Amino acid sequence: MPHVLNFSELPTDSAFEVRSLLLGLPKEVETRLLPLPQILERVRSASHFSELSSKQDEPWLAAAYLRASLADYCSIEEVQKIDRPNTAHIKLTDLTNPLLHLLELMRHLNIHVKSSQAERGSIAASFDGSPFDLGIQIVSNLEARDLGELRNGKHYAPTDLRDMVIWFKKAQLHWGAGYVVRLGTEALAELICVHHGL
């Protein structure tokens, strides 16, 4: 039976309009995760690597940071048992936000099938009223059919895989692939905080 996804949970354009140019998690997220040190470490590193991915000039290095970010993102689920060994844990497959599922699939794709290809791009931005071009990295070889061929990809309706990829390709043009991964990491961190009463 395919996983049930709710596409209304995907970040909207407003999530990209408030992006900070600085590295690091929002202070509020870090503070709430302090009682879960292993989770906090993985959330920090997934966020940090995703931001570094967007700032690279070399496509191979951007792709490497993106892979590292996706790997740490997926490990967040696993380290819940270290921080809270006697508590029920959140499972990515039980969640309905398509972005959280897509990031897990992208991790599996990068580790087991093919590496993401990063391409340099830019977006128009402004700082203190002055316009400038901000460099970003975008993933150029993400395809729904590749995700569907993964072992875990079989648990998704082909139309859901297609719609996830279409959304990602559009979203990454706002601020880069790395920032989309960061949004997913922060969304998962928020759900974990709520689940553990933080």
Helix (H) or strand (E) holding 162: helix 158-175
Residue 112 has pLDDT above 90, yes or no: no
Please report, for the chain, the start and end positions of each structural domain, with discontinuous segments joined by +: 7-195
Q: Categorize the per-residue pLDDT at 103 as very low, low, confident or very high, splitting at 50, 70 and 90.
A: very high
Spatial contact of 54 and 21, defined as CB atoms under 8 Å apart: no
Residue 20, pLDDT score: 54
Q: Helices 98-112 & 158-175, crossing angle to 10 degrees?
A: 90
The CA distance from 10 to 87, in Å, is 28
Burial environment of residue 86 by CB neighbours within 10 A (0 to 12, 13 to 18, 19 or more): exposed
> Cβ contacts of residue 90 below 8 Å, gap of 6+?
77, 80, 188, 191, 192, 195
pLDDT in tens, 113-127: 888 888 887 777 666
Q: What is the C-alpha to C-alpha distance for residues 86 and 153, in angstroms, rounded to an integer?
A: 30
- Ramachandran angles phi, psi of 134, nearest 5°: -105, 125
Q: Which pLDDT does position 118 carry in this prediction?
A: 82
25: DSSP letter: -
| pLDDT, tens digit, 9 for 90 and up, residues 136-191 | 888 999 999 999 999 999 999 999 999 999 999 999 988 889 989 999 999 999 99
Q: What are phi and psi of 119, to 5 degrees?
A: -130, 140
- What is the band of 56 on the pLDDT scale with cuts at 50, 70, 90? confident
Write down the pLDDT at residue 174: 83
pLDDT by residue (tens digit) across 59-95? 899 999 999 999 999 999 999 999 999 899 999 999 9
Backbone angles phi, psi at 21, to 5 degrees: -80, -5
The mean pLDDT value of the chain amounts to 88
Is a pLDDT exceeding 60 seen at residue 18?
no
Among the residue ranges 20-24, 108-112, 143-147, 172-176, the one predicted with the least confidence is 20-24
pLDDT on residue 26: 83
In sequence order, which residues have a C-beta less than 8 Å from that of residue 131 and are 6 or more positions away?
Answer: 124, 125
Does residue 133 surpass a pLDDT of 90? no
